[in-house]
């Protein structure tokens, strides 16, 4: 493999090359990060659009390797020196470290919840009062498991429909009447300015989000110490602590990033004192017939290094408890 080339941007006339997927959402969130990078480095930033296998394939994610297929082309470009840094949706990033690359920053998290978009503005409970089965589109086994479990508990008729595509495509399925509703990440709708189209923000008590949902990861070559130090200014310690706990849980369960696993670590927003973190996790079969859902809490130390260490411990502890309750038999796939 080609060794990472030194990043450009050694003077103000040479822009840093920020790699991003080409979707509307990816470009929007990369643009937000680009502005933060400009302020941190004093350098211009150029967005470099890169197509990934996940963007061009029409197969279901589980068939092509899960959501990790969205990051491989960006990482290849980083290692080849074609770009200087890359922005990923953290929920798409495999939990194992990648040789030669470092997660230099995890900026402050957006809303981690899922959002429901319906054709007529009805919320989830109103939708499920219909006399016929309600068709809800989602490409995530995690959402299918929890939505179907909720419907079973409340005696509602629900059919989850596997769909793929960008935000525009998915909302189009609802507007055309092909399905009754879709579930999307609220963070994505916020970043593209379409959150007002959500009929409801789904409470985590009903559907736990994907580990890392709503957060972004900024990656660069681990050998570029100068850029790594500059990008560290974008890092939000509370967000990093929360997503570290969630991703440690995912890794300890040996589940792939498209497995039916939900997780959310609750911490105060940045700038507030955090003394305790609550971590919730869920694993379930996609039909909702079987769920393992548990939570744990732990103190949050003052130093950033200890926060990460404590987050990892909480994630491993909760994973052990969930595995003891039978979580391994509900996932259906190994780590990516």
The predicted structure's pLDDT at residue 259: 81
Catalytic-labelled residue, pool 17, 21, 75, 91: 91
Q: What is the pTM of this model?
A: 0.88
Return the minimum-mean-pLDDT range out of 130-144, 224-238, 266-280.
266-280
Whether 39 is catalytic: no
Lowest mean pLDDT among 141-145, 171-175, 225-229, 264-268: 264-268
Residues 84, 92, 114, 236: which is the catalytic one?
A: 92
Residue ranges of the domains in the chain? 1-107+215-235, 114-202, 236-327
Note if 170 is an active site residue.
Answer: yes
pLDDT(335) > 50: no
**pLDDT at 328 (0 to 100):** 87
Contact between 112 and 214 under an 8 Å Cβ cutoff? The reply is: yes
Catalytic-residue membership of 325: no
Cα–Cα dist 238/243, whole Å: 9
DSSP symbol at 275: -
> What is the DSSP secondary structure assignment for residue 15, as one 8-state letter?
-
45 has a pLDDT exceeding 80? yes
**Annotated catalytic residue within 22, 164, 316, 325:** 164
Rounded to whole angstroms, the Cα distance separating 309 from 305 reads: 6
Give the pLDDT confidence score for residue 125 in this predicted structure.
Answer: 86
- 1-107+215-235 and 114-202 share one CATH topology? yes
Looking at residue 177, the DSSP 8-state letter turns out to be: T
Strands 101-105 and 216-221: antiparallel
Topology of the domain covering 236-327: Double Stranded RNA Binding Domain (3.30.160)
- 151 contacts: CB under 8 Å, gap ≥ 6: 128, 157, 158, 288
Q: What is the reported pLDDT for 198?
A: 96
**Token duo for residue 207:** 């559907």
Q: Using one digit for the tens of pLDDT, what is the confidence trace for 300-314?
A: 766 767 778 889 999
1-107+215-235 is classed CATH 3.40.190.10? yes
DSSP single-letter state for residue 210:
P
> In this structure, are residues 307 and 236 in contact, taking their beta carbons and an 8 Å threshold?
no
> Of 21, 142, 247, 280, which one is the catalytic site residue?
142
Least confident of 2-11, 188-197, 208-217, 294-303: 2-11
- CATH number for the region 114-202 comes to 3.40.190.10
* Annotated catalytic residue within 17, 122, 143, 240: 143
3-state class (DSSP) for residue 86: strand
């Amino acid at each position: 493999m080609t060794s990472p080339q030194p990043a450009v941007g050694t003077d103000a006339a040479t822009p840093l090359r920020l790699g991003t997927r080409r979707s509307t959402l990816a470009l929007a969130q990369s643009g937000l990060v680009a502005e933060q990078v400009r302020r941190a480095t004093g350098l211009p930033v150029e967005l470099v659009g890169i197509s990934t296998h996940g963007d061009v394939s029409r197969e279901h994610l589980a068939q092509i390797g899960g959501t990790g297929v969205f990051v491989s082309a960006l990482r290849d470009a980083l290692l080849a020196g074609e770009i200087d840094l890359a922005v990923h949706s953290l929920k798409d990033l495999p939990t194992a470290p990648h040789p030669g690359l470092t997660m230099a920053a995890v900026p402050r998290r957006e809303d981690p919840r899922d959002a429901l978009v319906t054709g007529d503005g009805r919320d989830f409970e109103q939708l499920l009062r219909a006399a016929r089965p309600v068709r809800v589109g989602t490409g995530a086994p995690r959402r299918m498991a929890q939505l179907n479990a909720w419907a079973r508990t409340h005696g509602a008729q629900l059919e989850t429909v596997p769909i793929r595509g960008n935000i525009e495509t998915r909302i189009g399925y609802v507007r055309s009447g092909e399905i009754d509703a879709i579930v999307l990440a609220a963070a994505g709708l916020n970043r593209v300015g379409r959150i007002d189209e959500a009929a409801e923000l789904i409470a985590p008590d009903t559907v736990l989000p994907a580990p890392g949902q709503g957060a972004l990861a900024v990656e660069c070559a681990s050998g570029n110490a100068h850029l790594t130090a500059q990008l560290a200014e974008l890092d939000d310690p509370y967000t990093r602590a929360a997503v570290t706990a969630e991703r440690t849980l995912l890794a300890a369960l040996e589940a792939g990033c498209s497995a039916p696993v939900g997780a959310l670590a609750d911490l105060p927003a940045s700038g507030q004192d955090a003394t305790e973190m609550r971590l919730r996790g869920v694993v379930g079969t996609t039909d909702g017939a079987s769920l393992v859902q548990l939570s744990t809490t732990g103190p949050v130390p003052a130093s950033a290094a200890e926060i990460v260490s404590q987050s990892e411990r909480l994630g491993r502890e909760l994973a052990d408890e969930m595995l003891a309750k039978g979580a391994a038999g509900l996932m259906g796939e190994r780590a990516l």
